[in-house]
Amino acid sequence: MNESRNIYDLTHDQLVDFLSELGEPKFRAQQVWNWLYTKYVTDFAEMRNLPKSLIEKLEANAVIHSATIASEEYSSDGQTKKVLFKLPDGQYIETVLMRYEKRRTLCISTQAGCAMGCVFCATGQMGFFRNLTVSEIVAQVLYFAHELALTEEHVTNIVMMGMGEPLHNYNNTLAAVDRLTDETGFNLGARKITISTVGLVPAIRRYADEQRQTPLAISLHAATDAERDKLIPINSRWPIADLMDACHYYIEKTGRRLTFEWALISGENDTIEQARALGNLLHGMLCHVNLIPLNPTAGFSGGPSSKERVDVFQAELSHYGVSSTVRVRRGIDIQAGCGQLRDRVVGNP
């Protein structure tokens, strides 16, 4: 073997084959798998029940972590940590750990940059560089799993709401989900992982057809095409009517509740008119709305809605029987919104 393999790219069966090529018996694969996904080791030398000869083969032919830490930020309340990883080809991605009373939630990236161009998003403002590999997605989780294990904590939830559009990197994103929910390894419940999409209609329908257990969140942010076109360019390709057809199809196929994400921008989409349009759009639908006062970015002039405007917006939704919660914003003092740390450290191209 001439080129080192990133071992996180391998399924269990592929790991068996890989070790077989190294002249090792099949049972070694489960040992390595356990060290990776239940012990979260970051160095082959830590795999203490492996013979030295196998460790040397692994060190010569594979890598575990290929990213390096470019920057770390901690919120003033100590509940949020953001890491900027530098990948071997010079790209950067961000991962955020958010501590709540009973949860340890990771917000992970699926792409370097993003092609969707949402105007209020720091990642959308920087453009698209490339999809992440399965190993690059999984490694973000295992990095923090290793760190949390040092204090006898563990990852309880994952949201794929970091840099990139997860369904634009469909195959690698879902392969990473399969890896993280594998009962013989990391074993996180599928319903503890949420995938967020800005509204790629064909991918939503494919996702529904596959009967995935991982919840789906739709970044809606506007209830009329005139307003959504200004915020989310992809709306011109799949307008709200097409998106809602796909959402109804998803609910019909899976029986699962959808979440709609709504970043409240003062004077833009927090008006009573938008609240009523949203209420009419979602009335009677099996769904829930996450209201999120905007996390400001340098490339967008809009600001977060006031508590008074948020309260009025939420009250109007309740008149239509639409349930909603106001998400607690985390990491504002460290610019924990996706793409913001990369933008500050690296700058936009």
Name beta bridge partners: 216: 195
Asked if residues 318 and 283 have their Cβ atoms less than 8 Å apart, the reply is: no
**Separation between Cα atoms, residue 303 and residue 218, nearest integer Å:** 21
Name beta bridge partners: 261: 219, 290
Own/partner pairs, 188-194, CB within 8 angstroms, 24+ separation: 188/155, 188/158, 190/214, 191/215, 192/156, 192/157, 192/158, 193/157, 193/158, 193/159, 193/160, 194/157, 194/158, 194/159, 194/160, 194/161, 194/259
Choice among 114, 121, 287, 338 that is catalytic: 338
Question: Which amino acid would we find at residue 156?
Answer: T
Does the annotation mark 338 as catalytic? yes
**Separation between Cα atoms, residue 84 and residue 341, nearest integer Å:** 7
HEC readout, 19-61: HHHCCCCCHHHHHHHHHHHCCCCCCHHHCCCCCHHHHHHHHHH
Q: How far is CA 216 from the centre of its chain?
A: 11
Q: CB-based contacts of 178: which residues, under 8 Å, 6+ apart?
A: none
Choice among 24, 73, 94, 165 that is catalytic: 94
Can you read off the two tokens belonging to residue 257?
A: 């509740």
Does the annotation mark 94 as catalytic? yes
**Separation between Cα atoms, residue 320 and residue 279, nearest integer Å:** 5
Can you read off the two tokens belonging to residue 211?
A: 């009967």
DSSP secondary structure letter of residue 116? S
| Catalytically active residues, by annotation | 94, 338
